[in-house]
């Protein structure tokens, strides 16, 4: 809403209308998807594309993003809705937003199969500010709501469903940023 107010105060009605339209499309998609136990990977990516596009507009295109979907992934495979959005939101808000304007933020969402094809691996990675020792210890002391809710949702879908979330923060000797990796059972048809 802050972005909408900003455009209205600037009398930038065209941007305000575009932002409202994008918000309405995103909300409609979210409301349709959240009613479902599962949606296709393609549908999840459409929602993410809308969400990230809205965030790009909000932050004046200060970051870029890309989706990398392995060729062996069947985009008709079903996964829980809104599985990646909380992690994409955290990457933008806590990793990319604090970057200076001179550093181009990058967000990557990657989907691939494990070597044995038994798991779908979903990765959200940014080159943002990362987490120093102090921030890392605060996170370890405070249970992440996004992680907790996501784990609960996966467990409710099926007793055999499992989720492993790894948050790897790059150290100072490597590229800064954060990477979240989610492993879920691969339920895609074997003939895909």
What is the rounded distance in angstroms from the CA atom of residue 92 to the CA atom of residue 18?
Answer: 21
Domain 2-185 sits in CATH at 3.30.565.10
- Structural domain boundaries in the chain: 2-185
**pTM of the entire structure?**
0.83
| Tens digits of pLDDT across the chain (192 residues) | 767 787 888 888 898 899 899 999 999 999 999 899 899 999 999 999 999 999 999 888 889 999 999 999 999 999 989 989 988 988 898 888 887 666 789 999 999 999 999 889 999 999 887 766 555 555 545 556 766 777 787 676 556 566 555 454 545 555 678 888 888 888 765 544
What is the rounded distance in angstroms from the CA atom of residue 128 to the CA atom of residue 105?
Answer: 6
For residue 82, what are its two tokens? 């809104």
Number of residues in the chain = 192
Q: What are phi and psi of 111, to 5 degrees?
A: -130, 125
Which of 164, 158, 67, 178 is CA-nearest to residue 120? 164
């Amino acid at each position: 809403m802050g972005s909408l107010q900003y455009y209205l105060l600037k009398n930038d009605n065209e941007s305000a209308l575009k932002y409202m339209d994008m918000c309405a499309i995103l909300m409609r998609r979210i409301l349709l998807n959240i009613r479902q136990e599962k949606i296709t990977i393609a549908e999840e990516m459409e929602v993410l594309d809308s969400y990230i596009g809205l965030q790009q507009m909000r932050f004046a295109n200060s970051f870029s993003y890309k989706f990398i979907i392995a060729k062996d992934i069947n985009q008709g495979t079903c996964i829980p809705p809104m599985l990646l959005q909380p992690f994409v939101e955290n990457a933008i808000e806590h990793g990319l937003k604090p970057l200076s304007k001179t550093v181009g933020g990058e967000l990557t969402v990657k989907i691939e199969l494990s070597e044995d094809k038994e798991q779908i691996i979903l990765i959200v990675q940014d080159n943002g500010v990362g987490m120093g020792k102090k921030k890392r210890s605060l996170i370890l002391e405070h249970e992440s709501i996004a992680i907790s809710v996501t784990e609960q949702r996966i467990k409710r879908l099926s007793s055999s469903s499992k989720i492993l979330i790894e948050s790897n923060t790059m150290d100072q000797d490597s590229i800064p940023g954060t990477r979240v990796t989610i492993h879920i059972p691969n339920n895609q048809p074997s003939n895909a």
